[in-house]
Structure 1
Amino acid sequence: MKPGISAEDLYRLKFVSDPQVSPDGEKVAYTVKRINKDKNYESHLYICTLSSGATVQWTRGSHNDTSPRWSPDGKLLSFVSDRSGKNQIWLISAEGGEAEQLTSSEGGASSPVWSPDGKSLLAAITVKKKTDGENRLRPLEVTELQYKADGRGMLKDEYSQLFLIDRETRNETQLTSGPNDHFGAEWSPDGDKIAFSKSRTNEDTVSYASDLVIQQLGGEEKIVSHGTGAFTDPVWSADGEYLAYFGQTFEHGSATLGNLHAVHLDSGVTVCLTKNFDEHAGDAVIGDMHYGHPAPKAAWSKDRKGLYFIATLNGNSSLHYATLEGEVSQITKQDCHLYGCAVDSENDYAIFAASSPVIPGDLFYASLSNSAEEVRLTDVNSEVLSEIDLSHPEEFRFTNDEGNSVQSWLLKPPRFEEVKKYPLVLEIHGGPHGMYGNTFFHELQMLAASGYVVLYSNPRGSYGYGQQFVKGCMGDYGGGDYRDLMAAVDYVLAHYDFVDMEQLVVTGGSYGGFMTNWIIGRTSRFKAAVTQRSISNWLSFYGVSDIGFYFTKWEIGYHLFEDPEKLWQHSPLRLSNRMDTPLLILHGEEDYRCPIEQAEQLFIALKQQDKKVKFVRFPKADHNLSRNGDPGLRVARLQFIVSWFDQQLEELENKGGAILENAAADRV
């Protein structure tokens, strides 16, 4: 009998991403990432010949090789590698051989983009402000709202600038400047201009606001996006007439759906291709294996009358097509998480990277004109998956108190027996505007393998079900979203008699951590809880989070100085005197998104009231510990969760047994 998946199996799993089709349409380059137990993460380049299916590993070693990009003639691949100690751009022949280092920038280089003639590349290079005593400890002078960022730490006058790299001479020419990050660059078809996104990091705005800019190479810049928002991933039509891009204007704050736009460059007229789509243009599926994969840009059709793009809806992300007139259709039909894609419109196919609940991530072929033609190209985890038993989720839906259908899933233990009773763990996603879906989620599989039935659901506030649904929790944290989650639990207890209603536990991270805190402050039906990287106090979150100064108003409705009582009413810390559920608090020391003081406040409040609580602090870990953190800490975190649930339920069972024995003795 095969075992279920374990925490340590993280070290054995592989993940495929970033497919790139060669100019002749005959090959696809891609990356395969794995977790090296001793040396953190590593990834390598692979090339698959589509006609034969033959796959060759192109790079090796204990380093990270990412972002493969074909030269226009198909003879070279550029890629990003840390093999020299810092991320730089390298070149390697498409026929094989040794790689050559192209850049040697002090700040590192990334995001290579070939010029149409193949003689140069664009690269994003981090430029630091020169100071005296560079290596000496010095004060950080803060004058802006945005002075820190999760995963980056304190922002010290370092910005990503675009450089032109001559392939032959290796000369580097800086094309952009100023206190802004520049990213997502794309050449015009004639090679005379570039389009890119330019952040607004030094303005009184949100941390990811950006403009879309066209620059005459090395010359004048022109903003082509309209209004304040996030405008990214420009892509030119082959005739240079249009520039398409993703964008949103924060109309509904962080709950605003992403849209696909196209601007006619001569007239300046911009159209939103997904205006009537009412779903998110982009990938919003949540998982713990896919963090950091590059989001693919939209791709123009062969006739230049529309674009292919990824969209999120109903538990899936899929390839869609939008015409310039705003008609949207779905191309791929699998129930899956499609997170990477390369479109070859000339040859009528796409290569996409996708995951399902039992596939961590592989490549697939899809015809653009025949939706029935989808073929799997890789199976990178065949060996490890042949040795373990994974669970297949069962989907169900229920109608909430507003008449909306709430999509949910139940994951049973691998060796499930209908006659047994099982404990149930309610998992709550972060965001809150993310979406659980048909993707591989190691943590959920591991909990099921540990003997738990796992319930995960998309309450109001989740992407995938239209604009009204995704903004449904704003200003109402702990209201309708709480009722949706409790309704999901009630539905399971009413329809599945193998769940033990006396053995319910709950966990979640970020917003899911907030909701875990809120739940145990509102009900005692859960016998154990684990809160991860959570929010407990909106009053202090406003000033300590790297996004608190705008996210608080977006989500709760007010700034601290506008209505502090409203913030306090939505703070789980206020309910600490009602929290009788044994609670494990997990938090990263360097989390700037939900800073660790949120956990500290909750721990002290509970401990002083003699509640059952334990606090685990993860060193050098930021908000994304569960997705890209230190491998050893990731495994330890999973072990803490399972052991806490097991311990609390065992103590409850022993206590119940002792009560029965005492009652029997009293009767005698």
Structure 2
Amino acid sequence: MQKYILIGAALLSLGLSATALADTLSDTTDTATIPEVKPTLSAEDVFALEWANNVQVSPNGQHVVYVRSHYDIMTDGTRNELWLIDVETGAHTPLFADQYQYGNPTWSPDGTRLAFTSNRAGKNQIHVYWLAQQKLTAVTSVQQSPGNLSWSPNGKQLAFMMNEPAPKTDFAKSVKSATKPKDAKWAPAPVVVERTFYQRDGQGVVPSAYRQVFVVPSDGGTARQLTAGAFDHGGPLVWRDNQHIIFGATRAESWEYQTGEQDLWQVNTQSLKLTQLTNQPGGEYSASLSPDGSQLAFLSRSSAPEPYHNAKLQVMNLGNGTIQSLQADLDRSIESPQWLDNKTLAVQYADRGRYKLATVTLNDRRTDLTDKIGGTSISRPYLFGMFSAAADSDVIAFTYGSESRPADVAVYNLKQRDEAKRKRVLTALNEDVLGHRDLAQLNEFTYSSSFDGTEIHGWYLTPPNYDPSKAYPTMVEIHGGPHLAYGPFFSAEHQRYAAEGFVVFYNNYRGSTSYGKDFAMLLDGFYSSDNDLADHLSGLDALIEKGVADPNNLFIAGGSAGGIATAFAVGTTDRFNAAAATNPVINWVSKTLTADSSIGQITNQFPALPWEDPNHYWARSPLSRVGNVKTPVLMFTGEKDRRTPIAETEQFYQALKIRQVPTVMVRIPDAYHGVTARPSRINAKVDYTVAWFKRYLKSADGE
């Protein structure tokens, strides 16, 4: 009955009378022959989306545990559950799907237990679950949130990382204050800031603390701190044997100013002796130990003061300390090395808007397996995804991304000879919703930038019920970074824009990753500028030439680096009917001296300090061109943004108001730079942008 109601409502919306509708239904005796009239993606549908992440294959390759995430319409947040899949049968079982949050699933070496983090005990703690016995216990009782879990080879210990509060400084201890009487109600105490890194987007001004390495018995007990000092230590944590753990750190006194430096270290869990394993210029990280314990794979990155570096794969012989470089000529950035056996590694690398899963042998032979890793970015089509391999297992698990669905769980079987069975998608998390929606269709193309002829790779979505004989209102939506990439993946925002009748064009403009270092460096010193603006305008010109885009109805939008590009564009050209800038930078001097990315950005993206070369900062700032702006501008920014502080938005808003240019500032309470972290904010961003753009739509005659 409900199906008839939905069909009837859809047919009535198309202009069929009630009588005609009744005749249509009465003439149909077999409901299976009635085609489903699919609605387009709605704001309510966004709350129903699900996706897979943190897929982890068991040591024997027989199971995959993963974090199944979905939005919660009642809390306007994300629920994270743990689910288990039998690789052979596809049986899909919830391990923990309740009111608590779950993350960081990590298999024990023998595959009989799972460690993970959860707030089941109030604060986030490490828990261990015995699969056969279906028994669960919390093994920590710590005050901070643990992460980077790692089992010892014998399964008796769990290493993890956690923030440890720093002791008071000499200055803080020297301050003498009046004693507060019992039950007195005083104003909050002053916050003393002395650290160089005193703030983090998503957290605000943070208490002074350092990330340290800890260990705890895997059956529960007291956590023991292994590292100390005013240094941040980084994962992953790698057990060399049952008594030594390898990690990353910059243990230099001025480490907060050495933004590109990190070395690999080893700590003895009994004596706490520290041993430095690498000392190359730049950063060494993401270590992985071969099954026989003789070789350590890791990634390295240059510390040259540049905005982009490819990550390179290296392998250290732990017996003699020699280091071998693998895939040195590959002009792409390698990620997440994981051993398959003592001679072969699995890696992923980004190539032309896609992640490729590949194997690399110690004789430097690379074999690409699949380019379907992705799908873990829900709001926009960012190139995010991951995989998991286990030594001596034939199965690699990964997040499977596509243009029409968020991430599902998939596996690749290295020994399967039947090509059709080699790669299998094991879940269909969104078929119950997206399988019944009329989605926009994605189209891929390349074109030449009018700036210098550089080839630019792009995509465009055509609205449901697209008529190729018509030209449509078209928006260019620009990704952030700028050293990130979009790809051919599902995007809730883009699908909703298309459902409102817009062609949505997006590209990987110069500066984007996955096209090699030279391409990424094309924005060095020119972010934002006429250079990348030409990449966007040339793409629109190509769509106009194809008959897709209506030249009288062009719009521009973007977030973060895309918001900067949007603000720069309206100060340079009047081609757009309206603009929507999310989290923009408007003044590079104020941005670099107030944001949490201050030192790293100044060091790597600018030729000098702001007061040493103010002209360069000003030339890159959209505020320098505000006198040219005629385009109506909407701005959408989180009030707690620490990456592109809302004062940037306020500068542009007030400047445009002074000039009497139509402008709206949409302020999002309690939101940081990840302004669409909540599903209601994904919808709000689309809703406000669509309403703004439709105010400035022109009719067919251009009026």
- Measure the CA separation in 2 of the matches of 1:455 and 1:252: 33
Structure 1 residues 243-254: aligned runs within 5 Å: 243-251=296-304, 253-254=306-307
Q: Which secondary structure state, in structure 1, belongs to the residue aligned with residue 401 of structure 2? A: strand
Tell me, yes or no, if structure 1 residue 358 matches structure 2 residue 404: yes
Structure 1 residues 25-40: aligned runs within 5 Å: 25-39=61-75, 40=77
Displacement of 1:334 in angstroms is 4.1
Tell me, yes or no, if structure 1 residue 448 matches structure 2 residue 498: yes
Displacement of 1:414 in angstroms is 1.7
Instruction: Name 1:459's counterpart in structure 2.
Output: 509
Instruction: Name 1:273's counterpart in structure 2.
Output: 326
Q: 1:382 to 1:346 in 2, by over 3 A?
A: same
2:387 to 341, 345, 353: 341
Contact kept in structure 1, 2:85 and 2:91, CA below 8 Å: yes
- Measure the CA separation in 2 of the matches of 1:391 and 1:230: 42
Q: Which amino acid is the alignment partner of residue 205 of structure 2? A: M
Structure 1 residues 142-181: aligned runs within 5 Å: 142-181=193-232
- Measure the CA separation in 2 of the matches of 1:593 and 1:422: 35
- Measure the CA separation in 1 of the matches of 2:565 and 2:238: 45
What's the CA shift string for 1:346-392, capped at 9, x where partnerless?
23231111211112011112133566621111111110112212223
**Quick check: 181-190 or 142-151, which moved more?**
181-190
Q: Which has the larger radius of gyration?
A: 2
Structure 2 unpaired stretches of 5+: 1-36, 174-178, 181-185, 376-383
Q: 1:558 to 1:4 in 2, by over 3 A?
A: farther
- Measure the CA separation in 2 of the matches of 1:448 and 1:24: 44
Instruction: Name 1:285's counterpart in structure 2.
Output: none
Contact kept in structure 2, 1:33 and 1:43, CA below 8 Å: yes
- Measure the CA separation in 1 of the matches of 2:43 and 2:251: 40
TM-score by length of 1: 0.90
- Measure the CA separation in 2 of the matches of 1:475 and 1:456: 23
Contact kept in structure 2, 1:396 and 1:409, CA below 8 Å: yes
Q: Which secondary structure state, in structure 1, belongs to the residue aligned with residue 114 of structure 2? A: strand
Tell me, yes or no, if structure 1 residue 232 matches structure 2 residue 232: no
Q: Which amino acid is the alignment partner of residue 387 of structure 2? A: C
**Quick check: 196-205 or 343-352, which moved more?**
196-205
Structure 1 residues 264-413: aligned runs within 5 Å: 264-282=317-335, 297-302=336-341, 304-334=342-372, 339-368=385-414, 373-400=422-449, 401-413=451-463
Aligned length: 637
Displacement of 1:250 in angstroms is 3.2
Contact kept in structure 1, 2:139 and 2:220, CA below 8 Å: no
Q: Which secondary structure state, in structure 1, belongs to the residue aligned with residue 441 of structure 2? A: coil
Q: Which amino acid is the alignment partner of residue 82 of structure 2? A: L
- Measure the CA separation in 2 of the matches of 1:207 and 1:384: 44
Q: Which amino acid is the alignment partner of residue 231 of structure 1? A: E
Contact kept in structure 2, 1:306 and 1:321, CA below 8 Å: yes
Instruction: Name 2:295's counterpart in structure 1.
Output: 242
**Quick check: 267-276 or 584-593, which moved more?**
267-276
Instruction: Name 1:428's counterpart in structure 2.
Output: 478
**Quick check: 482-491 or 424-433, which moved more?**
482-491
- Measure the CA separation in 1 of the matches of 2:45 and 2:133: 32
- Measure the CA separation in 1 of the matches of 2:305 and 2:687: 38
Instruction: Name 1:46's counterpart in structure 2.
Output: 83
Contact kept in structure 2, 1:353 and 1:364, CA below 8 Å: yes
Tell me, yes or no, if structure 1 residue 510 matches structure 2 residue 560: yes
Displacement of 1:154 in angstroms is 1.6
Displacement of 1:272 in angstroms is 2.9
Displacement of 1:537 in angstroms is 0.7
- Measure the CA separation in 1 of the matches of 2:368 and 2:220: 46
- Measure the CA separation in 1 of the matches of 2:700 and 2:88: 62
Contact kept in structure 1, 2:148 and 2:237, CA below 8 Å: no
Displacement of 1:536 in angstroms is 0.7
- Measure the CA separation in 1 of the matches of 2:455 and 2:616: 29
Instruction: Name 1:186's counterpart in structure 2.
Output: 237
Q: 1:182 to 1:336 in 2, by over 3 A?
A: closer
Displacement of 1:103 in angstroms is 1.1
Instruction: Name 2:263's counterpart in structure 1.
Output: 211
Q: 1:321 to 1:142 in 2, by over 3 A?
A: same
Q: Which amino acid is the alignment partner of residue 409 of structure 2? A: L
Displacement of 1:559 in angstroms is 2.0
Displacement of 1:255 in angstroms is 1.2
User: How many percent identity over aligned positions?
Assistant: 29
Displacement of 1:615 in angstroms is 0.5
Contact kept in structure 2, 1:505 and 1:527, CA below 8 Å: yes
Q: Which secondary structure state, in structure 1, belongs to the residue aligned with residue 673 of structure 2? A: coil
Instruction: Name 1:290's counterpart in structure 2.
Output: none
Instruction: Name 1:662's counterpart in structure 2.
Output: none
Tell me, yes or no, if structure 1 residue 70 matches structure 2 residue 100: no
- Measure the CA separation in 2 of the matches of 1:192 and 1:3: 59
1:521 to 566, 571, 590: 571
Q: Which secondary structure state, in structure 2, belongs to the residue aligned with residue 593 of structure 1? A: coil
**Quick check: 11-20 or 368-377, which moved more?**
368-377
Q: Which amino acid is the alignment partner of residue 500 of structure 2? A: S
Contact kept in structure 1, 2:297 and 2:314, CA below 8 Å: yes
Instruction: Name 1:635's counterpart in structure 2.
Output: 683
Structure 1 unpaired stretches of 5+: 283-296, 658-668
Instruction: Name 1:486's counterpart in structure 2.
Output: 537
Q: Which amino acid is the alignment partner of residue 665 of structure 2? A: F
**Quick check: 81-90 or 319-328, which moved more?**
319-328
What's the CA shift string for 1:298-328, capped at 9, x where partnerless?
21132x2231111001111011222334443
Q: 1:64 to 1:223 in 2, by over 3 A?
A: same
- Measure the CA separation in 2 of the matches of 1:73 and 1:553: 46
TM-score by length of 2: 0.86
- Measure the CA separation in 1 of the matches of 2:359 and 2:60: 23
Contact kept in structure 2, 1:189 and 1:238, CA below 8 Å: no
- Measure the CA separation in 2 of the matches of 1:511 and 1:451: 26
Displacement of 1:98 in angstroms is 5.1
Q: 1:61 to 1:503 in 2, by over 3 A?
A: same
Structure 1 residues 531-542: aligned runs within 5 Å: 531-542=581-592
- Measure the CA separation in 2 of the matches of 1:492 and 1:143: 53
Tell me, yes or no, if structure 1 residue 81 matches structure 2 residue 118: yes
Displacement of 1:149 in angstroms is 1.5
Contact kept in structure 2, 1:476 and 1:556, CA below 8 Å: no
- Measure the CA separation in 2 of the matches of 1:498 and 1:41: 37
Contact kept in structure 1, 2:478 and 2:507, CA below 8 Å: yes
**Quick check: 540-549 or 249-258, which moved more?**
249-258
Tell me, yes or no, if structure 1 residue 21 matches structure 2 residue 63: no
Q: Which secondary structure state, in structure 1, belongs to the residue aligned with residue 686 of structure 2? A: helix
Structure 1 residues 104-123: aligned runs within 5 Å: 104-123=141-160
Q: Which amino acid is the alignment partner of residue 101 of structure 2? A: N
Q: Which amino acid is the alignment partner of residue 86 of structure 1? A: K
Contact kept in structure 1, 2:344 and 2:361, CA below 8 Å: yes
What's the CA shift string for 1:390-420, capped at 9, x where partnerless?
2231100113354432111011002211233
Q: Which secondary structure state, in structure 2, belongs to the residue aligned with residue 535 of structure 1? A: coil
What's the CA shift string for 1:45-68, capped at 9, x where partnerless?
111111211110110212211111
Displacement of 1:480 in angstroms is 2.0
**Quick check: 230-239 or 470-479, which moved more?**
230-239
Q: Which amino acid is the alignment partner of residue 211 of structure 1? A: D
Q: Which amino acid is the alignment partner of residue 649 of structure 2? A: A
Q: Which secondary structure state, in structure 2, belongs to the residue aligned with residue 644 of structure 1? A: helix
Displacement of 1:491 in angstroms is 1.2
- Measure the CA separation in 2 of the matches of 1:156 and 1:324: 45
Contact kept in structure 1, 2:372 and 2:402, CA below 8 Å: no
- Measure the CA separation in 1 of the matches of 2:640 and 2:265: 34
2:164 to 122, 127, 138: 127
Q: Which secondary structure state, in structure 2, belongs to the residue aligned with residue 590 of structure 1? A: coil
